Amino acid sequence: MEFIIENLSKKFGTKEVLKQIDFTFESGNIYGLLGRNGAGKTTLFNCVNRDLKADSGSFFIGENGTRRPTVPEDIGYVLSTPTVPEFLTAREFLKFFVEINEKSIRELRPLDEYFEMMNIVPEDRDRLLKDYSHGMKNKMQMLINIIASPNILLLDEPLTSLDVVVAEEMKQLLRRQKDGRVIIFSTHIMELALDLCDKIVILNHGELEVVDKENLDNGEFKDKIIQALREEEHA
């Protein structure tokens, strides 16, 4: 399966944030989307998710020599600041989500199996979400996207503010979820991207560029990323 972006452009006033992007993402990979703060990573995600109207551009799922336009069910989006209904308990929220999406969930499991998947202990499952930490809310946001099992999972800096233990749990979970789907992980932290991701893509001057990871040991790879990000800063 492929996720194909064609001719994606977006301006804000006179600033061209995305410049006629043509790019193909292949399933089975976690892509690290690197760029400085303000480079347009969130804008790219919002256009793909259709939360923001692009000036131009089309999005397709390609498979077995055919392709079709993406639909909302193809895309999951995990925000850097988790948004959950804080007036519900974790179990109530999960039950509500499962019930309204029951027909589209591929492998429906008991609720407690989902909690176990995220290492959410029994005593936390019936707590109000308003009493959850940032990391725990992030786990719940990630969990509903995993249950929905979208073809494309967009992750907008989801690990940046998490503690070491939760961040490592989330990385292991993402590695287990990449088969058969495209995961795009946005971050401005290079070391995090190198640790987690199979492929690195830089958003630089409004364009996407793949950077080869084969020469990590000689420093050439990191130098190219840093140079690209410096150019973005001074543009």
DSSP code per residue over 29-51 = EEEEEE--TTSSHHHHHHHHTTS
Predicted pLDDT at 229: 60
Compute the average pLDDT of residues 165-181: 87
Q: What CATH number was assigned to the domain covering residues 2-87+154-234?
A: 3.40.50.300
136-147: average pLDDT: 90
Residue 123 has pLDDT above 80, yes or no: yes
Predicted confidence (pLDDT) per residue in 188-217, tens digit: 777 888 888 999 898 988 999 888 766 544
Quick one: pLDDT at residue 170?
83
pLDDT of residue 218: 53
Q: Bigger pLDDT: 173 or 97?
A: 97
Residue 128 is predicted with a pLDDT of: 97
Q: Cα separation of 204 and 177, whole Å?
A: 28
- Report the C-alpha gap between 74 and 76 in whole angstroms: 7
pLDDT score, position 225: 64
pLDDT at 234 over 60: no
Q: Tell me the pLDDT band of 167, cut-offs 50, 70 and 90.
A: confident
- Model-level pTM? 0.88
Find the DSSP H helices in the chain: 41-48, 90-100, 111-117, 134-148, 164-177, 190-196, 220-234
Place of tokens 């996407």: 208
Per-residue pLDDT at 224: 63
Antiparallel, parallel or unpaired: β 66-69 and 15-26: unpaired
Quick: pLDDT tens for 36-64: 778 899 999 999 999 999 999 999 999 98
